[in-house]
């Protein structure tokens, strides 16, 4: 599992792999800091390079959780 935290006040959208169909993508909306719900848990198999790009830009922070 990967915990993703939004570091900005505005909401952001993250592109992840779709769970329902193969070779397609889906979008996760992550609320901003002011809402207090700025963390989300995703599975390892839906992680994409777009999430890594958002971390390098400083929008989010990722942390790998061991089950």
67 pLDDT band, cuts 50/70/90, is low
Query: How far apart are alpha carbons 29 and 5 in whole angstroms?
Result: 12
Residue 24 — left, alpha, or beta (φ > 0 → left; ψ -120 to 50 → alpha)?
beta
Q: Are 25 and 6 in contact (CB under 8 A)?
A: no
Reported as a single tens digit per residue, the pLDDT across 9-60 is: 999 999 999 988 888 999 999 999 987 889 999 999 999 999 999 999 999 9
Q: Give the other-Cβ count within 10 Å of 54's Cβ.
A: 22
DSSP code of residue 59: S
Q: Would you say the pTM of this structure is higher than 0.85?
A: yes
């Amino acid at each position: 599992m990967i915990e993703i935290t939004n570091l900005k006040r505005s909401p952001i959208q993250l592109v992840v792999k779709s769970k329902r169909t193969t070779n397609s993508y889906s979008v996760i909306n992550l609320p901003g800091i002011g809402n207090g719900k700025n963390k989300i848990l995703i599975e390892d198999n839906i992680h994409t390079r777009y999430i890594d790009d958002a971390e390098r830009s400083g929008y989010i922070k990722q942390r790998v959780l061991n089950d």
